Structure 1
Amino acid sequence: MLPNVQRIRRGDRLLCYHRPTGIRLPDLPETHPEFVAAWARAESTKPDHAFKLAPGTIAQAVRNLRASTRWKNLTKSYQGSLRFHLERIENDHGALPVKGLREKHIVTDLAKLDPNPANASLKCWRLIFAQAKIDNAIDADPTAGIKKISTKSPGHASWSQAEIDIYRARWPAGTPQRIAFELLAWTGARVSDAAVMSRAHIGSDGLLTFRQQKTGGLAHVPWTSPLPRWAKPWEGERAAAREIISSGTGFTFLETAQGKARTVKGLSNLISAAAIEAKITGRSAHGLRKYRLSAIAEAGGSAHAIMSWGGHSSLSEAEAYTRAANRRAVVTGEEQEQNDVNAVRNDCKR
């Protein structure tokens, strides 16, 4: 249905008006081209009730940002995470001229905040100045030399293999807790992507491919395609996971009993609550992503393999997993065994 249409029933007639302007619309179905055209004309003449802002101010730059393609291309969840900080900046500094701000002013503003909100506010400042440059309000971004504050947070802990086994023993195949778990554990997807994942993501090449909501990067997960050499031992795990995940009949893999796709928060809470029920503490849905990507590194998968499976936007992110795996190999004997193998190969070549 078209927005801003006021519908008034008079006996057996339905009268339609354009609510902002009061213009009477044709007595035709709302899908009729003439009705739509009349509505479009009325929409184009409705007054702009937004209060006027002084040009060149932070408040004007924020308004322009929110109307920009840059802002609209951000995911709704990411917009929501930034909105509070954007509103704080506008409320505290909206009347200031954007052209007069320098790096020292932004540093002073961020110094009032704890590390995490300071980093989020820095992202907002950068978006504001990027928009101001597009609007030719400034020549240079004063935040260019400001670095994020290190929070030194370990983030979500990875699941251990023992915890994976305990969870599977507690939640049998067919339960929502197990289906969601297997999808997250095999794909290494974030909950925002797993919540909407469906059979439509599986290509004729046997790869489950999806574009991540957070980064926009493509992730490629072997679904029925041949596994790489280092992942061959996972064939049984993959087959079992695939059977469990595909047991549902809904459009998305993780539909609720009411036939609706699970929300991101609902899926995250489902895994956390199921882990606690299984006597596993401190483990989350995102920890299953770390589990899969760490498993790739420990199995011998390259940083490029992790980057492709996990959909990372930069190689440095994926290399963090291979570095951690190499450090473990130093103390488990795996590195020495590989060195011995290489030595034998070199002797044979002589």
Structure 2
Amino acid sequence: MKPRKQFPGATAYFDRHRKRRWRFRRGGFSAELGSDYGSEEFIQRYEDAVNGHKSRRRIGAERTKPYSVSQLIALWYRSPEFLDLAPSTQKVYRGIVEKFREEHGDKPVRLMQRRHVQMLLAEKARTPTAANNLRKRLIQLMDFAISLDWRNDNPARTTKPFRVGGEGFHTWDEDELAQFYETHKSGTLAHTAVTLMLYTGAARVDAVKLGPQNVSDGKIEYRRQKTQRTGGVLVSIPIHPDLAEVLNKLPKDRPFLATHKGRARSPGGLGNLMQQWTEEAKLPQCSAHGLRKACARRLAEAGATAHEIGAVTGHKTLALVQRYTEAAGREGMANSAIEKLIARPNGDRNMANLPERFVKSNTKPKQGKDIL
């Protein structure tokens, strides 16, 4: 396996004085990183570039303070724990950590106390999910500080997460799917995208990569990006007839959800399109991730076991499958449960075989004892 670059996107070049320098490039964006590869200043300029803006720092200016939050974050970005994360996960973590770094980067790591973490989380009380995400990253950072012998304890671990209401992303129901298909007819990219994700349970990051190369013997096969680095199991799903009807009309030389130029679409781009499509269908509560949950819901309502559902969605633990299928057919299952209680197949009442001493009560009070 080819080793992952420590600073993806950074390339070297020689200036007019034949001095080796480094530049970050991604798409049409570029930013200078300096000549001191791997230094604290280089890392800070690299992080600025990754987040889409050019650093205003001058080489040698604003050196990172030793044992500060900023230095801890810079070292964490170079740690195996961080580098082993998927690029998409790294990007999400950076977005959270960099906001924290901007406000508290110059503060000593050893001085952080539990009350400081609680105050940081309290500032995000109106957005409990964001508060909990920050708490998770602080726990990771403080654990890393312990590994560096900068601290002996982790104050973030002693705090409690916020309770998050609701059930996460909304699960599409059948009426919403019908309404979407009524707006976006067969042959449109919107129709293709929703059908693909609905009948595969694929996440956006995986759906954009699926194409004819993933079809084999009437099945779609792929490995989820989220679990690929840990040797995730192969997801192999028989192609449903409704999905086959859509895929058979697509070109065979490009991904199923390709751009007009035939290139793979980005997960973010698909997300933006999904938001546009659902608004056009007057379904603002629906999202791409909700289709993944809808796939699991349909399977649960059809009687599939948790293991069978996990084989389709690619989940490695049944606990996650349970989260996706909690609301699956509750009303129907409740009706079925009560029907089983009311009558047996032969029409007799399905009363439990209680012991005779509970069925036949003794109406004669025992002598010598008060009856309350």
- TM-score band, normalised by shorter chain: 0.7 to 0.9
Is it true that 1:141 corresponds to 2:144 in the alignment? no
Query: Is the Cα contact below 8 Å between 2:293 and 2:325 reproduced in 1?
Result: no
Query: Is the Cα contact below 8 Å between 1:275 and 1:281 reproduced in 2?
Result: yes
Match of 1:188 in 2: 201
From 125, 140, 144, the counterpart of 1:127? 140
Match of 1:304 in 2: 307
The one-letter amino acid paired with 2:76 is: L
Alpha-carbon offset, residue 335 of structure 1: 3.0
CA distance in 1 between partners of 2:107 and 2:282 (Å): 54
Equivalent position SS for 1:272 = helix
In 2 relative to 1, CA 201–264 (structure 1 residues): closer, same or farther, beyond 3 Å?
Answer: same
The structure that is helix-richer by fraction is: 1
CA distance in 2 between partners of 1:165 and 1:154 (Å): 22
Equivalent position SS for 2:223 = strand
From 100, 111, 116, the counterpart of 1:89? 100
Kindly report which structure 2 residues correspond to 1:71-220, keeping only aligned pairs within 5 A, or say none.
Answer: 71-114=82-125, 115-202=128-215, 206=219, 208-213=221-226, 218=233, 220=235
In 2 relative to 1, CA 58–271 (structure 1 residues): closer, same or farther, beyond 3 Å?
Answer: closer
CA distance in 2 between partners of 1:135 and 1:92 (Å): 23
From 247, 251, 257, the counterpart of 1:248? 251
Query: Is the Cα contact below 8 Å between 1:219 and 1:310 reproduced in 2?
Result: no
Alpha-carbon offset, residue 62 of structure 1: 0.9
Alpha-carbon offset, residue 249 of structure 1: 2.4
Number of residue pairs matched by the alignment: 304
CA distance in 1 between partners of 2:171 and 2:336 (Å): 21
CA distance in 2 between partners of 1:2 and 1:158 (Å): 40
CA distance in 2 between partners of 1:45 and 1:79 (Å): 23
Equivalent position SS for 2:133 = helix
Query: In the TM superposition, what whole-angstrom CA distance separates every residue of 1:273-293 from its partner, at most 9, and x where no partner exists?
Result: 333434444322222112111
CA distance in 1 between partners of 2:37 and 2:330 (Å): 65
Alpha-carbon offset, residue 330 of structure 1: 4.1
For the aligned residue pairs, the C-alpha RMSD in angstroms reads: 3.6
Match of 1:24 in 2: none
Query: Is the Cα contact below 8 Å between 1:209 and 1:218 reproduced in 2?
Result: no
Query: In the TM superposition, what whole-angstrom CA distance separates every residue of 1:198-235 from its partner, at most 9, and x where no partner exists?
Result: 334445694523223389654624225xxxxxxxxxxx
Alpha-carbon offset, residue 320 of structure 1: 3.0
Query: Is the Cα contact below 8 Å between 1:186 and 1:241 reproduced in 2?
Result: yes
In 2 relative to 1, CA 139–7 (structure 1 residues): closer, same or farther, beyond 3 Å?
Answer: closer
Query: Is the Cα contact below 8 Å between 1:272 and 1:284 reproduced in 2?
Result: yes
Alpha-carbon offset, residue 183 of structure 1: 0.7
Moved more, 132-141 or 296-305: 132-141
Match of 2:20 in 1: 19
From 59, 62, 86, the counterpart of 2:73? 62
From 257, 271, 279, the counterpart of 1:268? 271
From 4, 11, 17, the counterpart of 1:3? 11
Query: Is the Cα contact below 8 Å between 1:196 and 1:261 reproduced in 2?
Result: yes
Query: Is the Cα contact below 8 Å between 1:172 and 1:178 reproduced in 2?
Result: yes
Query: Is the Cα contact below 8 Å between 2:40 and 2:74 reproduced in 1?
Result: no
In 2 relative to 1, CA 167–72 (structure 1 residues): closer, same or farther, beyond 3 Å?
Answer: same
Query: In the TM superposition, what whole-angstrom CA distance separates every residue of 1:83-102 from its partner, at most 9, and x where no partner exists?
Result: 34322332333343323433
CA distance in 2 between partners of 1:322 and 1:45 (Å): 52
In 2 relative to 1, CA 325–102 (structure 1 residues): closer, same or farther, beyond 3 Å?
Answer: same
Can you give the 5+ residue segments of structure 2 that lack an aligned partner in the other structure?
Answer: 1-8, 23-33, 42-59, 351-372
From 294, 315, 330, the counterpart of 2:318? 315
Equivalent position SS for 1:325 = coil
In 2 relative to 1, CA 278–53 (structure 1 residues): closer, same or farther, beyond 3 Å?
Answer: closer
Q: TM-score, normalised by structure 1?
A: 0.73
Alpha-carbon offset, residue 132 of structure 1: 1.4
CA distance in 1 between partners of 2:20 and 2:137 (Å): 35
Match of 1:287 in 2: 290
Query: In the TM superposition, what whole-angstrom CA distance separates every residue of 1:59-104 from its partner, at most 9, and x where no partner exists?
Result: 2211101122222233333333333432233233334332343323
From 221, 225, 238, the counterpart of 1:223? 238
Equivalent position SS for 1:80 = helix
Match of 2:370 in 1: none
Equivalent position SS for 1:251 = coil
